[in-house]
């Protein structure tokens, strides 16, 4: 058991803190935002993340997990400090704004009064760890301060599961003490024997994380580019994705065609990496990833065009139910959400989207007050000219009652699924037309 702190308790840090308590550590979470800190300390998640509420309640009630706004308390308490603050894109899009990382780091180092390991989890571009090492060299009041870069690969919506059962653990470090600390903090996971610890140098750890995001988005944009081709020739991109994914060198993961990637990580991480590798002179890699970004940027437009096609003409003045606001199912995170990108595209064409989401309504209302919202799926579809599925929540994609319940409430039974996730059978039986990106429309054959 170790005494650990988690500095920055957002979508990554808060579930990480709860998961570290689950591993048996004594954990203090440091969160700058006093409201968020208070909520977490009361054992209530400030956002929806599958499985997080139970774990948070469990460990705040035993006292093994507590939260503070005071970094000095964490410096005093912990032997190992996870750094999980945000690295948003700079306003000009040219790389990360690393103010949170530099701020937290520069504040923590002078407070250390006993040997400590700092484990960075935030996603940064290559070169950042070297900068942070310099801060340690300049500001540490004691000698034994180790730095490890331990990039995080969790998927939002599976944050708890992915933290406790990761595919791999990557540690960029430069000393045996740092290695011992990382082995100790993850000992319960490593003891299971099915997770590889990849120990490497900090620069490799930085590139490994960026490369993982870059490859995943390349796959997503590739299949979306094929959706564009299929659309033109009347082929079915879902069958193409399935057929090529059978090849073990390709695989099915990350190959669902649709409106493209979004969220608080992939878009900004690929943008920051693409910019950085250009600066570093990796021009071919820059061209490749620029194409990936360009395909992704085109998907909201493709989705709006599909809505118009499904409607059979311009959508100005039409009411369109949008089911889903979260950037993906399993989370309330609406950062750079494809569903909301689509809603904005509909508004640009003069339509009126009415949005419902089972978990992200509050966040969507807060960050996008410009849209109209409904409190249930049924309210959203009532009086709509057509229905768009914007987020792949199972209660939309796999509920056999929704197509029946909604059938009499809409002007035309047309559903546009921009995630290619809908189980279309019940919708077709209930008399709906089902439109998906890169696929011919599906209609029940009336004899």
The residues that touch ligand NAD, with contacts defined as CB under 6 A, are 7-13, 30-33, 36, 84-87, 100, 103-104, 121-123, 152, 154, 156, 264-265
Query: What is the C-alpha to C-alpha distance for residues 265 and 296, in angstroms, rounded to an integer?
Result: 14
Minimal distance in Å, beta carbon 156 to ligand NAD? 4
Pairing assessment for the beta strands 65-68 and 352-356 based on DSSP bridges: unpaired
Whether 265 is catalytic: yes
Quick one: which of 323, 52, 79 has its CA closest to 163? 52
CB-based closest residue to ligand NAD: 10
CB crowding 172-191: b at 16 or more within 10 Å, else e: bbeeeebbebbeebbeebbe
Distances (CA, A) of 390 to 173, 291, 335, 338, 340: 41, 24, 14, 7, 8
Query: What is the C-alpha to C-alpha distance for residues 437 and 447, in angstroms, rounded to an integer?
Result: 27
CB 433 within 8 A of CB 407: no
Query: What is the C-alpha to C-alpha distance for residues 101 and 32, in angstroms, rounded to an integer?
Result: 13
Query: What is the C-alpha to C-alpha distance for residues 157 and 328, in angstroms, rounded to an integer?
Result: 8
Residues 6+ apart with CB under 8 A from 438: 224, 226, 227, 228, 229, 230, 231, 235, 236, 237, 238, 257, 420
For the purposes of burial, counting CB atoms within 10 Å of the CB of 218, is it exposed (0-12), middle (13-18) or buried (19 or more)? Answer: middle
CB crowding 30-66: b at 16 or more within 10 Å, else e: bbbeeebbebbbebebbbbbbbbeebbbebbeeebbb
Quick one: which of 163, 53, 30, 48 has its CA closest to 108? 30
What is the DSSP code (8-state) at residue 58?
H
Query: What is the C-alpha to C-alpha distance for residues 45 and 52, in angstroms, rounded to an integer?
Result: 7
Start-to-end CA distance of the chain, whole Å, equals: 69
Positions marked active-site: 265
């Amino acid at each position: 058991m170790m005494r650990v702190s988690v500095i920055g308790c957002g979508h990554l840090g808060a579930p990480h803190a709860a998961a570290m308590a689950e591993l048996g550590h004594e954990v203090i979470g440091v969160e700058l935002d006093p409201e968020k800190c208070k909520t977490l300390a009361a054992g209530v998640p400030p956002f929806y993340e599958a499985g997080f509420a139970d774990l948070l309640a469990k460990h705040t009630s035993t006292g093994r997990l507590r939260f503070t706004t005071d970094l000095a308390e964490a410096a005093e308490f912990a032997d190992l400090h996870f750094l999980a603050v945000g690295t948003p894109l700079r306003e000009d899009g040219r790389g990360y704004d690393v103010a949170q990382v530099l701020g937290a780091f520069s504040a923590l180092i002078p407070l250390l009064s006993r040997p400590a390991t700092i484990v960075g989890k935030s996603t940064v571009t290559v070169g950042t760890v070297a900068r942070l090492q310099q801060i340690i060299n300049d500001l540490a009041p004691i000698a034994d301060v180790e730095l490890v870069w331990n990039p995080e690969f969790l998927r939002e919506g599976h944050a708890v599961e992915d933290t406790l059962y990761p595919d791999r653990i990557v540690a960029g470090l430069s000393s045996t003490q740092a290695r011992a600390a990382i082995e100790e903090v993850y000992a319960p996971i490593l003891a299971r024997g099915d997770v590889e610890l990849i120990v490497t140098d900090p620069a490799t750890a930085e590139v490994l994380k960026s490369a993982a995001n870059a490859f995943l988005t390349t796959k997503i944009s590739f299949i979306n580019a094929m959706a564009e081709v299929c659309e033109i020739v009347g082929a079915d991109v879902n069958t193409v994705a399935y057929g090529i994914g059978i090849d073990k060198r390709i695989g099915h993961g990350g190959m669902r065609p649709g409106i493209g990637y979004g969220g608080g990580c992939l878009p900004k991480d690929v943008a920051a990496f693409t910019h950085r590798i250009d600066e570093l002179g990796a021009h071919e890699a820059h061209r490749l990833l620029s194409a990936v970004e360009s395909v992704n940027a085109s998907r909201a437009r493709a989705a709006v065009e599909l809505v118009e096609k499904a409607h059979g003409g311009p959508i100005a003045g039409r009411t369109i139910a949008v089911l889903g606001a979260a950037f993906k199912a399993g989370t309330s995170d609406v950062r750079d959400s494809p569903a909301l990108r689509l809603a904005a595209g509909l508004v640009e064409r003069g339509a009126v989207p009415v949005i419902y989401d089972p978990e992200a309504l509050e966040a969507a209302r807060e960050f996008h007050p410009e849209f109209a919202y409904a409190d249930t799926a049924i309210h959203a579809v009532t009086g709509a000219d057509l229905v768009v599925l914007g987020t792949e929540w199972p209660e939309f994609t796999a509920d056999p009652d929704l197509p029946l319940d909604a059938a009499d409430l809409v002007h035309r039974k047309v559903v546009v699924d921009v995630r290619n996730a809908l189980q279309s059978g019940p919708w077709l039986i209930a008399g709906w037309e089902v439109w998906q990106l890169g696929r011919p429309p599906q209609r029940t054959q009336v004899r």
